[in-house]
Amino acid sequence: MSALDAKKAHLKPLIGVFILVVAVVIILFSGMSGITEANVGQHLQDVADYVAQEAGAVGKEAKLTHGKLAIEGWGFNKHATVDDVSLELVDKSSPIPVKWSVSTAKMLVLPDPVSANGLIFEFPGPINVAQGGQPKTVISFPMPLKYVYSNMQGSHGPIIVHALHLPNEMTFAAVGDGNGRIVVDHDPNSLFYEKFMPANHERESAYKFSHVKITSADGMQLAASEITSNFNEAKQENGRVEGKYALTVSDFVLHDHDKASKSYNLSVSLSTGRAPTGNTDTAINEALFTADTFKVKVTGGISTSSDDGFPSGNAMVDIDNVPHFLASELIPEQARKTVAAALEKVTGQPADKLTHAMIPLKRDKNGSLYIGDAMFAALAASVLADMVQTSAPAAGGSEPSSAPAAVAPSPGGSAPASKGDAGQPEKPAKSPM
pLDDT digit string, tens, across residues 293-317: 999 999 999 999 888 889 999 999 9
**Contact present, 389 and 403 (Cβ < 8 Å):** yes
User: Does 416 map to a domain?
Assistant: no
**Is pLDDT at 201 greater than 70 in this prediction?**
yes
196 class by beta-carbon count within 10 Å (0-12 exposed, 13-18 middle, 19+ buried): middle
User: Could you write out the three-class secondary structure of the chain?
Assistant: CCHHHHHHHHHHHHHHHHHHHHHHHHHHHHCCCCCCHHHHHHHHHHHHHHHHHHHHHCCEEEEEECCCEEEECCHHHCEEEEEEEEEEEEECCCCCCCEEEEEEEEEEEEECCCCCCEEEEEECCCEEEEECCEEEEEEECCCCEEEEEEEEEECCEEEEEEEEECCCEEEEEECCCCCCEEEEECCCCCEEEEEEECCCCEEEEEEEEEEEEEEECCCEEEEEEEEEEEEEEEECCCCCEEEEEEEEEEEEEEEECCEECCCEEEEEEEEEEECCCCCEEEEEEEEEEECCCCEEEEEEEEEEECCEEEEEEEEEEEEECHHHHHCCCCCCHHHHHHHHHHHHHHHCCCHHHCCEEEEEEEECCCCCEEECCEEHHHHHHHHHHHHHHHHCCCCCCCCCCCCCCCCCCCCCCCCCCCHHHCCCCCCCCCCCC
- Cα–Cα distance measured from residue 364 to residue 367, given in angstroms and rounded to the nearest whole number: 5
**Contact present, 82 and 69 (Cβ < 8 Å):** yes
Same domain, yes or no: 42 and 156: yes
pLDDT digit string, tens, across residues 74-132: 766 788 999 999 999 998 766 777 889 999 999 999 888 777 677 889 999 999 999 98
Q: List the beta bridge partners of residue 253.
A: 223
pLDDT digit string, tens, across residues 260-286: 999 999 999 999 998 988 889 999 999
**Contact present, 179 and 151 (Cβ < 8 Å):** no
What was the pLDDT predicted at 2?
Answer: 56
User: Does 271 map to a domain?
Assistant: no
pLDDT digit string, tens, across residues 219-271: 899 999 999 999 999 989 888 999 999 999 999 999 988 889 999 999 999 99
User: Greater confidence, 67 or 5?
Assistant: 67
What was the pLDDT predicted at 390?
Answer: 61
Cα distances (Å, whole numbers) of residue 247 to 226, 227, 288, 378? 11, 8, 10, 34
Rounded average pLDDT over 166-175? 93
Q: List the beta bridge partners of residue 122.
A: 108, 146
Same domain, yes or no: 175 and 286: no
User: Does 251 map to a domain?
Assistant: no
Average pLDDT of every residue of the chain: 81
Same domain, yes or no: 37 and 155: yes
User: Does 90 map to a domain?
Assistant: yes
**Is pLDDT at 427 greater than 80 in this prediction?**
no
User: Greater confidence, 361 or 374?
Assistant: 361
Same domain, yes or no: 172 and 55: yes
User: Does 236 map to a domain?
Assistant: no
User: Does 316 map to a domain?
Assistant: yes
According to DSSP, the β-strands at 259-260 and 241-256 are: antiparallel
Q: Which domain holds residue 130?
A: 28-185
Same domain, yes or no: 62 and 179: yes
Q: CA dihedral defined by 61, 66, 67, 72, rounded to 10 degrees? A: -170
At residue 182 the predicted structure's pLDDT band, cuts being 50, 70 and 90, is: very high
**Is pLDDT at 335 greater than 80 in this prediction?**
yes
**Is pLDDT at 401 greater than 50 in this prediction?**
no
What was the pLDDT predicted at 222?
Answer: 95
**Is pLDDT at 22 greater than 50 in this prediction?**
no
Number of domains in the chain: 2
User: Greater confidence, 395 or 199?
Assistant: 199
326 class by beta-carbon count within 10 Å (0-12 exposed, 13-18 middle, 19+ buried): buried
User: Does 226 map to a domain?
Assistant: no
Q: Pick the closest to residue 164 from 143, 144, 193 (CA basis).
A: 193
What was the pLDDT predicted at 140?
Answer: 95
| 128-134 long-range contacts, CB within 8 A, separation 24+ | 128/102, 128/103, 128/104, 129/100, 129/101, 129/102, 130/100, 130/101, 130/103, 131/98, 131/99, 131/100, 132/98, 132/99, 133/99, 133/101
User: Does 170 map to a domain?
Assistant: yes
**Is pLDDT at 5 greater than 50 in this prediction?**
yes
What was the pLDDT predicted at 367?
Answer: 92
Same domain, yes or no: 387 and 283: yes
**Is pLDDT at 68 greater than 60 in this prediction?**
yes
